[in-house]
Chains A and B, each alone.
Chain A
């Protein structure tokens, strides 16, 4: 099993959800996060003064999938989240040791 985390542009969240639904992914967690990458944030101007915004708003999504589905999920997120501009984000893939559905106690692929 794989645990996939992606940092994406907030306005791409709905497209990513649609793309994942289309390939049969049934669950996802999304959170509002702040961060920076190579651009080190951006600047805003108030009353002629430039303010450095070191952390820009992003959305983080987390998905747990079976080994066979992982590649398709990475492809789907890449496709849906890409605008081609700086700040589109990154996808991280981890090995996932165990999953347990709290209600039934099921484990492994059955719990996904």
Chain B
């Protein structure tokens, strides 16, 4: 039986999660690049949204959520075969159409997150091919492993809204494609600063609000779990922001807008896997941990590994998601939390969480390596140096973002 209250909230959540990509993430990323590449970044995000939607309906949903084996789902629901208008999705009060659509918005934002790794130098065709292949080879199987009854679900891994499924997959893959693509011209010495920090702030705030749909919507119903998830999500975002602000004030003397909202996203990514399992204190601690760990990770990737993961997808999303995935094993025991799945308690759960993060890291890295290699050998990955200097907006799309 479908439930109108649950259905209403997940319809709302679905719209909120789509808002995270269109235009939240698009603006967040577009503000961080140079003025000559703004439209290309917006175009990457919006094209991925359209492509992922079609892929999801053709076979993504079936392979992720239809019963299959421990590794991949079945093909019985290809093209949404057998979808009935009124039937509830297993164990929820939601019409299956709403569940499909809600999950589709996750399949949209996850490959769009990777855009931050390859901006300002990638061929547009490579973005489209990569995103479709990546969805089918990385996102869909991992979703099945964790949420579709696959082998990680069998182990009892805890990932409420996508710390592993969304943020670890996107973050690890981002680092691999950034390393294979090579750095932007002039990296790291003479890279241009973000062309519009205000746009980064607007995008980050749309992400912040949209994340209520992402995490509280993952309750798949309108009740206490959704309410607590929204509360802890908001707390983690606030504390993550303030943490980054304090670190910057201490290290550089001035708290910056770009720094503040980077802390926001770090807090949100970190709380995501734990959002349905912790109480308010857990939310605060996750924000604090996310702010500190992601700050250190940005420094590590850009300045020590010297990999041009241009907009810090691994450091903010991947590392944040992994941090929350591991910490939930302990923080779920704080007041307001649910406890853990493992019978052996926190340490047993931590082992499961580590297995989840580790396996998904290896699979994401391997699969991304192969996909990128094939693209590089066939249609080509990177634009010419002349095109890079002139900017992708005009050379790839024939438009310019700011006209007199």
Contacts and interface: CB of A to CB of B under 8 A. Distances in A.
Contacts of A51: 191-193
B258 A49 contact: no
A90 B339 CA distance: 69
B256 to A, nearest CB: 7
B193 A47 contact: no
Nearest to B244: A47
Contacts, number: 36
Q: Label chain A's interface by main secondary structure.
A: strand
A49 to B, nearest CB: 6
A49 B299 CA distance: 8
A52 interface: yes
B194 A48 contact: no
A51 B256 CA distance: 14
B303 interface: yes
A45 interface: yes
Contact of A47 (B188, B192, B254, B262): B262
A46 interface: yes
A97 interface: no
B193 A48 contact: no
A44 interface: yes
Interface string A62-78: 00000000000000000
Nearest to B252: A45
A48 B258 contact: no
A111 interface: no
Contacts of B295: 48
A47 B298 contact: yes
Contact of A44 (B193, B262, B303): B193
B194 A46 contact: yes
B33 to A, nearest CB: 12
Interface string B214-254: 00000000000000000000000000000000001001101
A48 B197 CA distance: 15
For chain B, the bracket of interface size reads: 20 to 34
B186 to A, nearest CB: 10
- Among B189, B193, B258, B295, find the residue whose CB has the most chain A CB atoms closer than 10 A: B193
Majority-rule SS of B interface residues: helix
A44 B256 CA distance: 10
Contacts of B258: 46-47
Q: Which of A44, A47, A49, A53: most chain B Cβ within 10 A?
A: A47
A47 B191 contact: no
Interface residues of A, number: 9
A48 B298 contact: yes
B305 to A, nearest CB: 13
B378 interface: no
B259 interface: yes
B251 A48 contact: yes
B194 A49 contact: no
Contacts of A44: 193
Contacts of B191: 49, 51
B302 interface: yes
Contacts of B252: 45, 48
Nearest to B259: A47
Nearest to B253: A45
A70 B155 CA distance: 85
Contacts of A53: 193
A44 to B, nearest CB: 5
Contacts of B303: 48-49
A51 B190 CA distance: 7
B299 A48 contact: yes
Nearest to B294: A47
A36 to B, nearest CB: 14
A45 B192 contact: no
A100 to B, nearest CB: 28
A52 B190 contact: yes
A69 to B, nearest CB: 35
A45 B191 CA distance: 12
A49 B193 CA distance: 9
Contacts of B388: none
Contact of A46 (B193, B251, B299): B193
Interface in A9-54: 44-49, 51-53
Interface string B185-217: 000111111100100000000000000000000
A49 B188 contact: yes
18 contacts: A45-B248, A45-B254, A45-B256, A46-B193, A46-B194, A46-B197, A46-B258, A48-B251, A48-B259, A48-B298, A49-B188, A49-B191, A49-B303, A51-B191, A51-B192, A52-B189, A52-B190, A53-B193
Given A45-B252, A46-B194, A48-B252, 13 more contacts: A45-B254, A45-B256, A46-B193, A46-B256, A47-B302, A48-B248, A48-B295, A48-B298, A48-B299, A49-B188, A49-B302, A51-B193, A52-B189
